[in-house]
Structure 1
Amino acid sequence: MAGRIIANLVILGSGVLLKAVSQAYRQALVNASNSGVAQETLRNAVQKSSKVMTEHEARLILGVGERSPWEEIVDKYDTLFEKNAKTGSFYLQSKVYQAKERLKAARSSS
């Protein structure tokens, strides 16, 4: 008899706990959407998953500053591309190429 009562209490208690947790989660979602956190989190997730190189990242890869002339960017690109062609690092070569293309696109849009 005592075992049955304890089992009923455990089942009822876990049901109440599950309901409270689900309500708290729903309220947290409402609060996040009201404060704009949900939209910002979603925007960050989309940006990270799109794998588009930022202009800042491209400049870091090529080792150029924001005010570097296009000729310097091309020179850095040529140097890094050739060095990676000799060592056989296709991954680094592709990153260097993507960096140049990203800066080229930024240059033409401004």
Structure 2
Amino acid sequence: MAGKLIANLIVMGSTILGRAMLQAYRKALDNANKTGVAHEAINNIRRASKSMTEQEARQILGVSENSTWEEIVQRYDNLFERNAKSGSFYLQSKIHRAKECLETVYQKDKQNEPPT
């Protein structure tokens, strides 16, 4: 009898707690939408994903504006492999992002060139 009573109390208590947490979450979302915090957070995420500039990418890879795409890929492979051996995942990710950034620049330049 006591076990059944304890089980019922646990179930009722967890139900009440779950409802309270859901209500608090909904209220937090409402408040975030009213104050504009949610919109600002989304904008910050978008900005952070596009934060590397072409100049920064060139500095990371150690290439100039006159470098060919083949030179950039060669430099990328060299730096990426070096950091794979030393175990620096952070540097590997920066090197990869730099290559991605320059890749979009070179693709745009290639599309803008007149056909020969």
Normalised TM-score (structure 1): 0.57
Report the count of equivalent residues: 86
For 1:57 and 1:26, locate their aligned partners in 2 and report how far apart those are by CA, in whole Å. 38
Name the Cα RMSD after superposition: 3.4
1:26 — aligned with what? 26
- Superposed displacement of residue 31, structure 1: 1.0
1:12-52, Cα deviation, whole Å (9 max, x unpaired): 1001000100011001101111111111122234x269x6x
Maintained 8 Å contact 2:58/2:64: yes
Conserved in 1, the CA contact under 8 Å of 2:57 and 2:102? yes
Gaps of 5+ in 2: 78-95, 109-116
Structure 1: tracts of 5 or more residues without a match: 64-74, 103-110
Distance in 2, matches of 1:85 and 1:2, equals: 72
In the alignment, is the contact (CA less than 8 A) between 1:32 and 1:38 conserved in 2?
A: yes
- The aligned residue for residue 16 of structure 2 is 16
